């Protein structure tokens, strides 16, 4: 009986706390209206979060990631990733298409995936961006997206650790408890 009463009390406390100190939400950067030029160039991967470990698992094998974004044609962006896995460098390219009627980017070969760009304010970082990848449920009867992760990128490799802490804290408030932060103990690939 006491356990049940305590459980109810904690539940009500959680609801009251969220009403008083609500979670913050990231601010969308609609790619069809934003000045893309300011986002071109180098970005350092800092951390990733999700509701599920499976969404961020592939990052756990990496030491660091450096991305370069360039505009290759009208409304087309090329993202090149330089990833360090142990002593090896892995390079990979992704092509994103921007459509005037959409706020997200379309990843070539994955038209069902939404790729959203958010300001770094959610991590208390003016020189950061947050990139979200969302894929719909695999089956019509499923209620949960098959992929939903947020990734934090900074302009500098040595961004203040408080930025990542804030990103993880705000994500946890949204029940995104699975997270990864790369160690960045080795030299970046280029």
Q: What is the CATH number of the domain that holds 49?
A: 2.40.128.20
Please report whether residue 190 resides in a domain. no
Contact, 125 vs 114, CB < 8 A?
no
Please report whether residue 186 resides in a domain. no
Beta strand 76-85 with 147-154 is unpaired
Q: Report pTM.
A: 0.85
Please report whether residue 17 resides in a domain. no
What count of other Cβ atoms lies within 10 Å of the Cβ of residue 51? Answer: 17
Percentage of the chain lying above the pLDDT 90 cut: 74
pLDDT at 14 over 70: no
pLDDT tens-place string over residues 82-138: 999 999 999 999 999 999 999 999 999 999 999 999 999 999 999 999 999 999 887
pLDDT at 2 over 60: no
pLDDT at 77 over 90: yes
- The set of residues, in sequence order, having a beta carbon less than 8 Å from that of 69 and lying 6+ positions away, is 39, 40, 41, 43, 77, 78, 79
pLDDT tens-place string over residues 158-173: 999 999 999 999 999 9
Please report whether residue 71 resides in a domain. yes
- The set of residues, in sequence order, having a beta carbon less than 8 Å from that of 108 and lying 6+ positions away, is 94, 95, 96, 97
Kindly state the DSSP code that residue 51 receives in the 8-state scheme.
S
**In Å, what is the CA distance from 13 to each residue of 71, 174, 176?**
49, 17, 20
Q: Domain total for the chain?
A: 1
Structure tokens given for 166? 């804030």
């Amino acid at each position: 009986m006491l356990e049940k009463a305590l459980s109810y009390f904690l539940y009500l406390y959680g609801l009251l706390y969220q009403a008083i100190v609500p979670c913050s939400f990231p601010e969308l950067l609609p790619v069809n209206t934003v000045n893309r030029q300011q986002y071109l160039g180098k970005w350092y991967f800092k951390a990733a979060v999700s509701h599920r470990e499976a969404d961020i698992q592939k990052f756990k094998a990496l030491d660091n990631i450096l991305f370069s974004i360039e505009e290759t044609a009208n409304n087309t962006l090329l993202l090149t990733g330089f990833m360090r896995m142990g002593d090896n460098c892995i390079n990979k390219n992704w092509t994103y298409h921007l459509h005037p009627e959409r706020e997200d980017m379309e990843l070539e070969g994955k038209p069902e995936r939404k790729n959203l760009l958010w300001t770094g304010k959610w991590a208390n970082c003016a020189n950061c961006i947050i990139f979200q990848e969302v894929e719909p449920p695999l089956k019509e009867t499923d209620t949960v997206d098959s992929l939903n992760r947020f990734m934090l990128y900074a302009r500098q490799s040595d961004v203040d650790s408080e930025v990542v802490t804030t990103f993880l804290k705000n994500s946890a408030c949204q029940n995104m408890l699975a997270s990864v932060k790369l160690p960045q103990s080795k030299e970046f690939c280029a």
